[in-house]
Structure 1
């Protein structure tokens, strides 16, 4: 019998998703040549070649979730 599930992840973002925290905790990570942004709410940004753009996507999502997004 395994003491931990193979699906168990230890990153803060994964822990937040696992415990269904209502706050929007964003993170970026790389997959090959692309950077991706994701949030504890399940949102995922598009794959970007620019790490800075992926971070901007994450910040924009967090701001929109907090209700402080600029009007479009």
Structure 2
């Protein structure tokens, strides 16, 4: 079962809500706007991708 790690929404835009999702050995960040980050082996890097997306 895939685990999800929610990242807070951007303060000035409720349209974005990013989370990390595990798929097999990889973790990736997804956003409600349709953006998707690259598959990463490190959860911390996927979280950083999500934070970077939310910040602009």
Q: TM bucket by the smaller chain? A: 0.7 to 0.9
**Where do 5+ consecutive residues of structure 2 fail to align?**
1-13
Q: CA RMSD in A?
A: 1.5
TM-score using structure 1 length:
0.58
- More helix per residue: 1
**In the comparison of the two structures, how many residue pairs are matched?**
44
Unaligned runs of 5+ residues in structure 1 are 1-21, 65-72
Q: Which runs of 4+ in 1 moved over 6 A?
A: none
Structure showing the higher strand proportion among its residues: 2
Give me the TM-score of the superposition, normalised by structure 2: 0.74
Larger radius of gyration: 1
